[in-house]
Amino acid sequence: MSSPGLHPLPPPGLASVPLPLTTLDAAWYRHHQPQFDPIFFGRTGECRFDAPPPARAFGVLYLAADVQCAFIETFGHGHVERGRLVTLEALARKRLAVVTFRRPLRLVDLTEAGLAQIGADARLCVGDYDVAQHWSGALHAHPDVPDGLLYRSRHDPGRLCAAVYDRAGDGVESRSAGTLADAAQAPLLAGILRTYRFGLR
C-alpha cells in the first residue's frame, strides 16, 4: 500500500457540495502580544488556514476552545528530547483573551465526518500549509458562505481550534483574562504543565 502523500487540492465541484456546518457561540480563547488587539484577522500566509496566495484576499482569526489548547498551540512547537520548558517571562509576554460572539458563527466542521463529506481527510489539518490555504480559499468562496472553519489542534487532537474569517468581524468581541503567569492562574497553569509535561523556569 502506498503512503498517502500530500493532501489533494479542493475538487472542482466543491461549490456544489453542501458544507457540514456547525454553530460556534461559546467563549473561546486566544494568546496575543500585549501591544496588539486580540482580535486580529491575519493575512500573512504564515498560518494553516490563511487565505491562499497571491491575493491573500481575506483575513483569519485563530481561536482555541479552551485555555489548555491556547497554551499548547502557542508553546507546543519545541522538541521533547531533553524535556520542554516554559518560563514565567514567556508566559507574561502573552496576554490571554476570552473571545465571544454577538451572533452564532457558522463554521465548516472539519473535526469528524465533515472531512469525508467534502472529500478531505485529516491531513488537511496537520499537513502542508499551501494545500490547506487553497482549501480555505475554496471554502471561503463556497455559496454556503461559512464564517470560518472548526478543526482539531495539531498538537492535541482532543482539543478544538477555530479559524474565523474576517467576514464575521462585526460579530466578534473580547475581554482580557490576564496571563498564565498571574498568581491567580497558578492552579490552572500547574494542571496544564502536568498535562503536557512541561517544566517551569
The H or E element that residue 96 is part of is: strand 95-101
Three-state SS at 188:
helix
3-state secondary structure of 13: coil
User: Mind listing the pLDDT tens digit for each residue in 17-54?
Assistant: 999 999 988 899 999 998 889 999 999 999 999 999 99
- List, for residues 158-196, the tens digit of each pLDDT value: 999 999 999 999 999 999 999 999 999 999 999 999 999
Instruction: Give the separation between CA 171 and CA 83, rounded to whole angstroms.
Output: 41
Query: What pTM was computed for the model?
Result: 0.94
| Confidence (pLDDT) at 3 | 81
Nine cell digits for residue 100: 465571544
User: Are 168 and 105 within 8 A, CB to CB?
Assistant: yes
Sign of CA dihedral 41, 43, 49, 54: positive
Helix, strand, coil percentages, rounded to 5, for the chain: 30, 25, 45
